[in-house]
Structure 1
Amino acid sequence: MRILVVGGSGLIGAHVVDVLRERGHAATSVARSAQPGVDHTLDLGSASVDELRTLLAGHDGVVYAARTDEQKPLPKPIHPVFRADLVEPVVRLFTAAREEGLTRGVITGSYYTYFDRLHPQWRLPEHHTYIRCRVAQAREGRDAAGPELPVAVIELPFVFGRAGDRLPNWAGPLDGWARSRTPLLVPVGGTAAVSARSVAETAVDALEKGSGEDIPVADENLTWADMIGRIAEAVGRSRRVRRLPATAVRAALAAGGWMQALGRKESGINPAHFADLVLTDLFIEPASGRPIDPSLRETFAGPGAPRD
């Protein structure tokens, strides 16, 4: 296969390129800015269908692996901004892919769409703009692709790992917290976690099969206490992690939502409803059972740490 990887300089995209080439496939990487290993530079946010068709010509499939920051507060209203970032480029990309006759595609999405299917009573798209746009991204991207171009959506939890100097966008704050003298206080609940390498292998498997499925992925399910404790150990500041009462978590997040509202700002994940998620076990079953520690140490202990 010959596969175009959009976001090929990012953490997940770089691993997808590696796995494709390891399996004997050809990979073309596309990124917003020129970097070593990037074959083409293109801003997907402004690229037209015709420009994308030129880029996609001669390929068998395409992977959308660009990322966004769902936590950063933005001036209201934020829905048009998130649609322009998450949905509209994917619609143009898969419209172009269909018109060029590509036969397989992958979107790296979010595990929140998995939980929306599993628990519709949580009303996640109604409460969170980011989740609303992730749901629309999968639906509208597939509609644009049409039945001849199956598109798999890899539903990602916390992704650990490193690709050169590229790290998860949340790694810096957690690294600083774990290295500080600040007490490690966390909510009850937890999250699924996966390595970037596992994500890449899942994406390439989907391409090879021509899958159009929703694919939630997890290597391990971790409580927040377990995850933060392992991060502290990885940075050499191992210490006790204490759990916060649920009432304190709800009060702190409600205050955050109130402060955003005062500034006429919003974030993709609404703090006023985030406690309902963070206090829950956001676990994916079955998990692969592949240990997350090597990629966790790689994330927080530097590039010399063991890899998966």
Structure 2
Amino acid sequence: MRHVLPTLTSPLRTIGARDFDFSQRVAVMAIVNRTPDSFYDRGRTFALDAAVDAALAAVEAGADMVDIGGVPFAPGEPLSAEEEAERVVPVIEAVRAASDVVVSVDTFHAEVARRSILAGADVINDTTGLSDPDMVPVVAEAGAHLVITHSLAAPRTQYARPSYSDVVREVAGFLHERVAAAVEGGVPEERLIIDPGPDLNKNTLHTLELVRRFDEIAALGLPVLAALSNKDFIGETLDAPKSERLEGSLAAAVTCVLQGARIVRVHEVAPTVAAVRMAEAILGLREPAYLKHNMGDAND
């Protein structure tokens, strides 16, 4: 039986200088953390040159977007908007000068979003579900894209023992409400992307259920970002340290793509691009790069 993907209400997007038809392809978003305490790379790209080099290397490896972050999601000491902007803005400026790649900024501060957009960012990736009431007006005025993510805790605070009666239904309801609020605030649906927030205020069983029923999130009709790369639910499922989670990350990403994910946010770009291109071909969204095997009179 042919696999039917959820229908998108606005699949055609111009994001920055690039055009996307999310009914026909999946975008790969590379993660670049300019933080000394990111959960995965532990400061490897904290230096400005290292962050810029990592972003441009991701573009060379096939990334359609780079997501630049200055503050981890995990609980910890707050960082002022001024300090956060000082981390991300120089990276944005350098990447924008060198490439037309879509630049996303992972921030929950409206002021950081404003400065980032002025520096050349095309997307604001808010992992706190619009915790800053000024975020929507800033994005609306600038004409940028906005990623709305499900999470429940106040930024950088603990959220012990998260509990849901039906995690997928509750996440979908949250996203539906936040999308409505963003539209009412001036950001049209055609500039919105949603993210169910795997592992964000969720345990491993919650995240596995989200991945298992990802099509229910995609059924909301907006492009869905799958941010799964190297997360703890993969480590706990496979008993794997962060350095050994690539295979699990690829399996989770492909599972979500087959159910309607249209952006995957990842650390390892090249293997993810290959996995996503293969999934697109299986779905009938793209042709093989070439055809030779058993296409002629001899069995090649």
Whether TM-score is above 0.5 comes out as no
Whose helix proportion is higher, 1 or 2? 1
TM-score (norm 1): 0.34
TM-score (norm 2): 0.35
